[in-house]
Amino acid sequence: MKTHKIGIIMNGVTGRMGTNQHLLRSIDAIVKQGGVKVSPTEVIMPDPVLVGRNEIKLKELCACTSVEKWTTDLDSVMNDPAYAIYFDAQTTLRRFEAVKQAAEAGKHVYCEKPTAITTENAYKLYEICREAGVKNGVVQDKLWLPGMVKFIRLKESGFFGEILSVRGEFGYWVFEGHTIPAQRPSWNYRKEDGGGMVVDMLCHWRYVIDNLFGEIKKVSCLAATHIPERVDEIGQPYPCTADDSAYATFELENGVIAHFNSSWNVRVRRDDLLTMQVDGTKGSAVVGLRDVWIQHAGNTPRPVWNPDIQHPINFFDGWAKVPEQETYENAFKIQWELFLRHVVLDEPFRWTLLEGAKGVQLAEIGLQSSAERRWLDLPDLKA
């Protein structure tokens, strides 16, 4: 068996997302399955080193995974030719300098989003990697969620006819911390630390909409800070300086209208934490993270408006659940495997740092739209 061993610097994996999705469910899972199988006699085997500021957390992560190496000295591994890939899951404010350093050291770069706070810096990271001749990618995990894959299959089969509109609802109630502890970190609600719903989620909506429905042409966004004070990890109250909700409407190049509500102040009464209702001329779907419900034109009811009586139609009855037709792996792991194949085998990988810059651009223009209370065009970012 031929093994392509590839060293990966994993910086910032002591955080929630870095630990759970990138280390435990992706890289460690890939190692434990015997690597990425590329042929009956060939595999790609990750060789990670964990990097962070907290020595105790790094040791704990090594103890519960197959990873043996860790360090608090980033420079030492940046200069080590044994590591070909640099991965960044730090907080957004720390990302620019580290990615820049990695590219200049000749490392291939894979990182979380947002890739930077400003479009200028996000695009600059793409240019730095391009000029350094290193392969690069940004995490766009939602594209491989089971619900999204099922939607793509429906679209490929022509189920929707012409898609007319998309309505997305995302979020849940994040406790303020005064009585029940908050389930998200406090920096999420401080603008000065890179927090904010617009910065966080419009990066996601950019790649979801661009890849599934069509490229965004214009945006109208309203950002709001509904809860002015929360309690941090050590029990101290702090003022919320970042938006905790975003209400955005997007006009796409193909004429589709998409509207996404994103909020940390909403109590969930829907199928999932994220649902998208997609309406087309021939059929509609409600797309969740894992499940999809569909209604075809042939079994669409014909309601009549009469608020004086209880409506005779049970509107849930006309929907059918899409069956499990494929095997669905962890979305982060799928994209990691694609990036490893890209680096080792030079296979195509289109989710580069340019796509990361597009996400930051939408967030930045969304905030501008909110401040100016108007529709704004989305300029094209060139490769």
Task: Please state which architecture CATH assigns to domain 143-327+361-376.
Answer: 2-Layer Sandwich (3.30)
Which pLDDT does position 16 carry in this prediction?
Answer: 87
According to DSSP, the residues that pair with 249 across neighbouring strands are 220, 259
Question: Which contacts qualify for 49-58: CB closer than 8 Å, 24 or more apart?
Answer: 49/7, 49/8, 49/9, 49/10, 49/77, 49/83, 50/10, 50/13, 50/14, 50/23, 51/9, 51/10, 51/11, 51/12, 51/13, 51/77, 52/11, 52/12, 52/13, 52/14, 53/14, 54/14, 57/14, 58/14
Chain-wide mean pLDDT for the chain? 96
The C-alpha torsion from 110 through 114 and 117 to 120, rounded to 10°, is 60
Q: Is domain 2-142+331-351 in CATH 3.40.50.720, yes or no?
A: yes
> What confidence category does residue 269 fall into, taking pLDDT thresholds of 50, 70 and 90?
very high
Which pLDDT does position 382 carry in this prediction?
Answer: 86
In three-state form (DSSP H/G/I as H, E/B as E, the rest C), the secondary structure along 246-274 is: EEEEEEECCCCEEEEEEECECCCCCCCCE
pLDDT (tens digit per residue) in 336-345 = 999 999 999 9
pLDDT (tens digit per residue) in 29-60 = 999 999 999 999 999 999 999 999 999 999 99
Distance of alpha carbon 144 from the chain centroid: 10
Distance CA(376)–CA(365), nearest Å, equals 7
Report, as an integer, the average pLDDT of 271-276. 97
pTM above 0.85, yes or no: yes
> What confidence category does residue 93 fall into, taking pLDDT thresholds of 50, 70 and 90?
confident
First-to-last C-alpha distance (Å) of the chain: 38
Q: 34 — phi, psi (to 5°)?
A: 95, 20
pLDDT (tens digit per residue) in 311-324 = 999 999 999 999 99
Instruction: State yes or no: pLDDT of 308 exceeds 90.
Output: yes
Whether the upstream peptide bond of residue 114 has omega within 30° of 0, thus cis, is yes
Distance CA(13)–CA(328), nearest Å, equals 24
Helix (H) or strand (E) holding 146: helix 146-156
Instruction: State yes or no: pLDDT of 91 exceeds 90.
Output: no
Query: Strand, helix or coil at 59?
Result: helix
One DSSP character per residue, 309-377 reads S--S--TTTT-EEPP--S----HHHHHHHHHHHHHHH-------HHHHHHHHHHHHHHHHHHHHTS-EE
Which pLDDT does position 75 carry in this prediction?
Answer: 95
Please, which residues have CB within 8 angstroms of residue 236's CB and are 6 or more apart in sequence? none
Half-sphere exposure of 341 (CA within 13 A, CB side): 16
User: Contact, 51 vs 77, CB < 8 A?
Assistant: yes
Distance CA(77)–CA(61), nearest Å, equals 18
Report, as an integer, the average pLDDT of 322-333. 96
pLDDT (tens digit per residue) in 164-217 = 999 999 999 999 999 999 999 999 999 999 899 999 999 999 999 999 999 999
> What confidence category does residue 383 fall into, taking pLDDT thresholds of 50, 70 and 90?
confident
Q: Both tokens of residue 279? A: 């309406």
From residue 161, give the alpha-carbon distance in Å to each of 46, 299, 344.
43, 15, 40
One DSSP character per residue, 122-141 reads HHHHHHHHHHHT--EEE--G
Q: Both tokens of residue 42? A: 């060939």
Q: Both tokens of residue 127? A: 């240019």
Question: Which contacts qualify for 129-133: CB closer than 8 Å, 24 or more apart?
Answer: 129/99, 129/103, 129/352, 129/353, 132/103, 132/104, 132/106
Instruction: State yes or no: pLDDT of 268 exceeds 90.
Output: yes
> What confidence category does residue 232 fall into, taking pLDDT thresholds of 50, 70 and 90?
very high
Domain extent listing, the chain: 2-142+331-351, 143-327+361-376
**Which amino acid, residue 262?**
S
Which pLDDT does position 1 carry in this prediction?
Answer: 80
* Maximum CA extent, the chain: 74
